[in-house]
Amino acid sequence: MRQILSGVLLLASVLTGCINKSGKKEELIIFHAGSLSVPFKQMANEFEKKHPTLKVLLEPAGSIVCARKITELKRSCDIIASADHLVIERLIIPEYAGWNIRFATNEMVIAYQEKSRYSDEISPDNWTDILLRDDVTYGRSDPDSDPCGYRAVLTMMLAQKFYGKSDLSGRFLAKNQSFIRPKEVDLVALIESNAVDYIFIYRSVAVQHKMKYLVLPDEINLGNPEMNSIYSLVSVDIAGSSPGTSMTVDGEYINYSISVLNDAPNMDYALDFVKMLLGPEGTEIMKINGQEPIVPGLTSRPELIPVILKEYVNG
């Protein structure tokens, strides 16, 4: 009987090991790109089922804003997941994290609804003319806060080259500036409320919110890694890592990345979450939500990847 009682007490100790003295669950804090909100919510739900004494706290924002929460506001978190690997490479590594894994791709599209003006005639051949009409409005996100924002600008620049229309990007940038929002998922509300006719958005967000969308040529949509030589012909300057500075972002195919912070409060759980994301369960969730996983994940620092994750990355 004493052995049974001892075993019960041991089990209870294990099950409550993640609960602090106040009786609250321990928390895994994830700062992530707004466009990851739907798949990460699904993964968080599954992760909590496996770890019932843990609460996953998701904080969506523009990827650059996520980074600045760490670098400027000194907010504590376990994981940062960005819509652009360069955000982590340039703003987080090496001071706040040591490695970075690219895990999924995406592409830029023009999303709309049936009520959008000229939705019955828009095509890859005439979308630039339609969006520039005086009676048409479109939205995009802020380049200084969100990779989708500067990718919208890069898409405009690539369209100017692809269609051979001089000053096309300049005309786009000058139009409808009142419909610029902090992050890409904020644009969904503009469409749903009929405030705008079209938005520059990721295909995954359009799929998740069941919006109609126009597929753009590969030379424009930033979704094909084989087109990197074309994408790299354009660049945009955005706000830098500290106030008053700027940094240049060159055109590159879209790739999302993730890292665990050096001082993550819940390091073991954080690594387990990334393992789930990179494994079969996470990649299936990404596919369902309109994003193609990168398998195996890509990293420029394979020697720094934790042992628990090595089987899921190149090198």
The per-residue pLDDT for 239 is: 83
* Pair 272, 204 in one domain: no
pLDDT the model gives residue 175:
97
Whether 17 shows a pLDDT value over 60: the answer reads no
Per-residue pLDDT at 315: 62
One domain, residues 100 and 113: no
- Measured at the CA of 154, the angle between CA 153 and CA 155, to 5 degrees, comes to 90
Lowest model confidence (mean pLDDT) among 8-17, 115-124, 227-236, 270-279: 8-17
Predicted confidence band at 185 (pLDDT cuts at 50, 70, 90)? Answer: confident
d(CA 278, CA 138): 35
pLDDT value at residue 243: 75
Q: Is 20 domain-assigned?
A: no
Q: Are residues 199 and 234 in the same domain?
A: yes
pLDDT of residue 22: 52
Beta strands in the chain (DSSP E): 26-33, 54-61, 79-82, 101-105, 108-112, 138-141, 180-181, 198-202, 212-215, 235-239, 246-250, 255-260, 293-298
pLDDT confidence tier of residue 242, bands split at 50, 70 and 90: confident
If asked whether residues 212 and 283 sit together in one domain, one would say: no
Query: Is 5 within a domain?
Result: no
Q: What is the pTM of this model?
A: 0.88
Give domain status of residue 16, yes or no: no
User: 121 and 188 share a domain?
Assistant: yes
Would 261 be classed as within a structural domain?
Answer: yes
The reply to whether 115 and 217 lie within a common domain is yes
Residue 296 covered by a domain? yes
For residue 11, the model assigns a pLDDT of 41
Mean pLDDT lowest for which of 8-12, 120-124, 194-198, 209-213?
Answer: 8-12
Q: Which of 235, 250, 265 is the last residue of a domain?
A: 250
Percentage, residues of the chain above pLDDT 70: 92
The pLDDT, as a whole number, for residue 20 is: 52
Same domain, 224 and 269: no
Six token digits for residue 22: 């106040």
Which CATH number characterizes residue 96's domain? 3.40.190.10
Shared domain check, 158 and 265: no
For 40-67, what is the mean pLDDT?
96
Which band of pLDDT confidence, cut at 50, 70 and 90, is reported for residue 285? very high
Q: Is residue 13 in a domain?
A: no
pLDDT over 50 (residue 64):
yes
Between CA 63 and CA 144 the distance in angstroms is 10
The reply to whether 124 and 61 lie within a common domain is no
Number of domains in the chain: 2
Query: d(Cα 196, Cα 216) in Å, to the nearest integer?
Result: 19
Domain end among 218, 235, 250: 250
The region of weakest confidence among 16-25, 133-142, 212-221, 305-314 is 16-25
User: DSSP assignment of 251-290, as one string?
Assistant: ----EEEEEE-TT-TTHHHHHHHHHHHHSHHHHHHHHHTT
**Whole-number pLDDT of residue 9:** 38
Q: Is residue 3 part of a domain?
A: no
pLDDT tens for 144-180 read 999 999 999 999 999 999 999 999 999 999 999 999 9
Containing domain of residue 120, as a range?
108-250
| pLDDT for residue 304 is more than 60 | yes
For residues 242 and 285, state if they share a domain: no
Query: Where a domain ends, among 230, 250, 270?
Result: 250
Q: What is the mean pLDDT of the chain?
A: 92
pLDDT at 12 over 50: no
Q: Are residues 188 and 73 in the same domain?
A: no
| Same domain membership, residue 131 and residue 87 | no
Residue 25: the pLDDT is 78
Provide the pLDDT for residue 21: 52
Residue 168 inside a domain? The answer is yes
**What is d(CA 254, CA 239) in angstroms, rounded to the nearest whole number?**
19
